[in-house]
Amino acid sequence: MNESATRFREENGEDRMPDTENQAQVGGSTQPNDLEAFWLPFTPNRHFKRDPRIIARAKDMHFFKTDGTPVLDGTAGLWCSNAGHCREPIVKAIQDQAAELDFAPTFQFSHPKTFEVASRLAAMTPAGLDYAFFCNSGSEAADSALKMALAYHRLKGEASRTRFIGRSRGYHGTGFGGISVGGISPNRKFYGALLPGVDHLPDTYNRAEQAFSRGEPEWGAHLADDLEKIVALHDASTIAAVIVEPMAGSTGVLPPPQGYLKRLREICTRHGILLIFDEVITAFGRLGYATAAERFGVTPDLMTFAKGVTGGTVPMGGVMVSKEIYDCFQDETAPDHAIDLFHGYTYSGHPLAMAAALATLDLYRDEGLFEQALHNENPMADAAHALKDHATILDIRTIGLVAAFDMEPIDGLPGKRGYDAMCHAFHNENMMIRVTADTIAFSPPLMATQDHISEMFEKFRRVLDAVT
């Protein structure tokens, strides 16, 4: 066991750690990992299996390597472990639920916690988003919202509204709908035509105008007016919905320009187009509020969520739906046995997910984690922007408890410096960071202290030195 692992163990009373590299605890015995059979998503598999990055367990702000070395989590897992890892109230809620009710269908049946979670979420999201539909991931949530939009317009007698408008550099999961409205080229290029009738707004980033911004950039609200051009091209009568991330996350953290989202809202309302916010990353607490909609003062017609709702402990996603849309499906003249929405998933409203969500939402409230994130926004921005002087840094963007660094690409090898930085951070600095091409993003658990934030960026400076 190395020195850092020993020190962490002594300070935190840890006494249960695997001690062999590339081994894992399986059924109480130690079994060697066979790395060949698993096809990792969004991963260069050949390199990973030569140089694996294996996590054995986690607690609070840290993952642990198989030899017990603590790894500072700079990414909340994958934007999802907002409450920290293996928090006892959430763990106990999942355990208790598994012993009480392991599964219940929500096709024609349900169980109490689905209604409790739905009510909690309706109270946490902007007024008017009164109904919750549950699924299992952000990808499913995006596709669900798109289907709801199509069905809503058809029920209103506007069946010609079939077109979706996404945004360049947008990410909405990996379902066919989400890929279609998403605007990140590598996620699209292998899959052919995808959904027909999709157009895209330009992204909101301009380095010359927005470099080294803190919070919402001052420049760029006018980019929302490109929606008017798209409406003029296709006619509003053909457009069902516009879907955007309030803060584009997966592409490398692009905060919205000041006034941009309000302008989108105005244009959508004027033309009868639904506005969908993809808040899979921004809810819950990432920007210091329950939702980005709350922070920016803009209410969409549909809002997707996932990740943070259970703190990443049990897969869960969903869509918050406006009362107007929900009511449109409730035909008072239909017979009692008539289904109003022909859509759902076997595991919608899964008991373990509902239990995890309730415990996670309780933890956010009881520990004031949204408030803590907001309190730490400026210290995190200060620490991040202190790296502005590094030779490899082209730009830094911060908002909420998020920071992104654009690094100078290596000539002829785009993405190589970013990948090397991620690997070096894990192996040499015992820190997990997220990479998109040559952009590094930080999004630590909301329980992060200012000491954790300082440690993150001290480690990252050494990473930058190593990959320069």
| CB count in 10 Å sphere of residue 35 | 14
Residue 11: pLDDT band with limits 50, 70, 90:
low
Which pair of tokens denotes residue 357? Answer: 């969500």
Least confident of 14-23, 258-267, 323-332, 343-352: 14-23
For tokens 């260069």, the residue is 44
The whole-number average pLDDT for the span 2-30 is 47
pLDDT in tens, 441-463: 999 999 999 999 999 999 999 99
Residue 196: pLDDT band with limits 50, 70, 90:
very high
**Which residue in 192, 78, 224 sits closest to 139, CA to CA?**
78
The whole-number average pLDDT for the span 88-109 is 98
Which pair of tokens denotes residue 155? Answer: 């029920």
* C-beta of residue 416 within 8 angstroms of C-beta of residue 448: no
Q: How confident is the model at residue 187, as a pLDDT?
A: 87
Q: Tell me: pLDDT of 33 over 70.
A: no
DSSP codes of every residue in 393-420: EEEEEEETTEEEEEEPPBTTBTTHHHHH
Portion of the chain with pLDDT greater than 90, in percent:
90
**Angle 196-142-312 (CA atoms, 0-180°, nearest 5)?**
150
DSSP codes of every residue in 108-140: S---HHHHHHHHHHHHHSPTTEEEEEEESSHHH
Residues found in the chain: 468
The whole-number average pLDDT for the span 202-211 is 97
Task: Tell whether pTM > 0.85.
Answer: yes
The whole-number average pLDDT for the span 214-236 is 98
What distance in Å separates the CA atoms of residue 337 and residue 109, rounded to the nearest whole number?
Answer: 13
Residue 13: pLDDT band with limits 50, 70, 90:
low
Q: Tell me: pLDDT of 8 over 60.
A: no
Q: How confident is the model at residue 16, as a pLDDT?
A: 44
Q: What is the chain's alpha carbon radius of gyration, rounded to the nearest angstrom?
A: 22
In 189-259, alpha helices (H): 207-210, 226-234
Q: Which homologous superfamily does the CATH classification assign to the domain defined by 3-86+370-467?
A: Aspartate Aminotransferase, domain 1 (3.90.1150.10)
**Which residue in 421, 425, 373, 434 sits closest to 401, CA to CA?**
373
- As a whole number of angstroms, the longest Cα–Cα distance in the chain is 71
For tokens 């239990």, the residue is 355
pLDDT in tens, 146-173: 999 999 999 999 999 999 999 999 999 9
As beta bridge partners, residue 276 has: 243, 302
Which pair of tokens denotes residue 42? Answer: 């969004």
Backbone angles phi, psi at 178, to 5 degrees: -60, -40
What distance in Å separates the CA atoms of residue 199 and residue 234, rounded to the nearest whole number?
Answer: 9
SS3 call for 461: helix
- State the fold for domain 91-367: Aspartate Aminotransferase; domain 2 (3.40.640)
DSSP codes of every residue in 357-393: HHHHHHHHHHHTHHHHHHHTHHHHHHHHHTTTTSTTE
pLDDT in tens, 115-145: 999 999 999 999 999 999 999 999 999 999 9
The whole-number average pLDDT for the span 365-375 is 98
Q: How confident is the model at residue 192, as a pLDDT?
A: 85
The alpha carbon of residue 339 and the mean position of all alpha carbons in its chain are separated, in whole angstroms, by: 31
DSSP 8-state code for residue 195: S
Q: How confident is the model at residue 193, as a pLDDT?
A: 78
What distance in Å separates the CA atoms of residue 457 and residue 387, rounded to the nearest whole number?
Answer: 8
Residue 34: pLDDT band with limits 50, 70, 90:
confident
Domain boundaries, the chain: 3-86+370-467, 91-367
How confident is the prediction for the chain on average, in pLDDT? 93
